[in-house]
Structure 1
Amino acid sequence: MAKAATLRTLSDDQLLDELDSAKKELFNLRFAFATGQLDNSAQVAATKRDIARIHTVLREREIAAADVLLGPSGGPVQGSAADLAGSSDDPEQGSAASSAASTGDPS
């Protein structure tokens, strides 16, 4: 199997294909091991590591995509629609709710 640097050059679809084939290979290796036909049992561990490598690259891409959408701080990007929707023109709006929460008065 390939190193992580090689996996990073593949597209998402290619990575998912690699993941599928690695999982099938692991199934076949486990089957061969259980029936006593596997000569090199280290292949099972190597295939598990390959699967983990592929999952790692996919997760890195998910995190990078989230950073693009949310910004590196984890919140919405400044000036985004989510940021504008939360702001209000009335400065007293929400102050009654915050004062009720601090005093414990539900009214």
Structure 2
Amino acid sequence: MKNSKDKKDINLRELTADELKARFEESKDKLFHLKFGHKTTPLKNPLEIRSLRRQIARILTIMKGRK
């Protein structure tokens, strides 16, 4: 049985280059706002920052693998 990380990876690999780039930009903006908000008021789930960083890394890995 596959875990959720494998499913996320498969879903990202099915996206086109433009969709990956859009998802990357969206994730980067969300990470910026989460970090900024976390400095002023604590987040309910600070692990969200970690998971978003890892998602960005997965996207970049897939994008560089296609070049």
TM tier relative to shorter chain: 0.7 to 0.9
String of CA shifts for 1:37-88, please: whole Å, max 9, x gaps.
41110000000000000001001101xxxxxxxxxxxxxxxxxxxxxxxxxx
CA displacement at 1:3 relative to structure 2: 1.1
Query: 5+ unaligned residues in a row in structure 2: which ranges?
Result: 1-6
Higher relative contact order (CA 8 A, sep 6+): 2
Q: Which has the larger radius of gyration?
A: 1
Residue 10 of structure 1: SS of its match in structure 2? coil
Q: How high is the sequence identity, in percent, across the aligned residues?
A: 34
The one-letter amino acid of 1:52's match is A
Please say if 1:3 is aligned against 2:3: no
Query: 5+ unaligned residues in a row in structure 1: which ranges?
Result: 63-107
Please say if 1:60 is aligned against 2:27: no
**Residue 46 of structure 2 corresponds to which residue in structure 1?**
41
Q: Distance in 1 between matches of 2:22 and 2:42?
A: 26
Q: Distance in 1 between matches of 2:26 and 2:57?
A: 13
Q: CA RMSD in A?
A: 1.2
Residue 21 of structure 2: SS of its match in structure 1? helix
